Amino acid sequence: MEGVGLKRILFLQGPLGAFFQQVAQYFHAKHHKTYKINFNGGDRHYAWANQVDDFTGKPEQWSTYLHEYITKYQIDTVVVYGDCRFYHAEAAKVAKKLAIDFWVCEEGYLRAGFVTFENGGCNANSLLDRSSKAIIDANEQPIISDQQVGNTFYQRTIVASTYYWKMKQNTKQFPYYHHHRPWVWWQEGLFWFHNFKQKFISRVIDPTALKAFSKKYHK
């Protein structure tokens, strides 16, 4: 977004943690105006922008609220994490109607350890040319980063626990919040526990399985 004039950037829900907070601070340092709308207490806990607001209305009121918000503050760019969540899917429609940029972040499904950043949509909604010709003709270049992500499971566990705890604490302030996942916070924690257990099991059994596989099919 650099080199295109000063922007008015609205952030909606981001990845769990302070990623959007840091991105907003970066654009603020570049003299862009930043805005943030929270949908629950977890969003609010990690929020940062020049102006931070809460949406506490019903889901069916969201599109009208966002349309009026964008018009009032002359927003020209909306940034979200994932474009299939209810609030983000509706935001995409509003952005298209108002002819403003709609940028979508997603965990690096092209390169592990990177965040994908696309205008218009991601995954199935991506505007990238995915034809066989485009893939064959692509000028592949190595991407070298001076930052290595490494193992983040412990940090993500702390961040996720904090987010869901804050969300639960502030339920009464966001009574109509519609979460993008159909389970409650303790079920989310149970999934994380099973994930951790599977990682431990895989660390023990995978090397042996890989050795047997390599021995059988090595030519």
Query: Over 70: is that where the pLDDT of 3 sits?
Result: no
- Give pLDDT, residue 149: 76
Work out the percent of the chain whose per-residue pLDDT is above 90. Answer: 52
Q: What is the largest CA-CA distance in the chain?
A: 67
Q: How far apart are CA 210 and CA 58, in angstroms?
A: 51
Whether 68 contacts 194, CB under 8 Å: no
Mean pLDDT (whole number) for 104-118: 79
Query: Over 90: is that where the pLDDT of 195 sits?
Result: no
Of 62-66, 100-104, 130-134, 200-204, give the lowest mean pLDDT range. Answer: 200-204
Give the DSSP per-residue string, 32-51: -EEEEEESSHHHHHH--SSE
In three-state secondary structure terms, 131 is coil
pTM of the model: 0.78
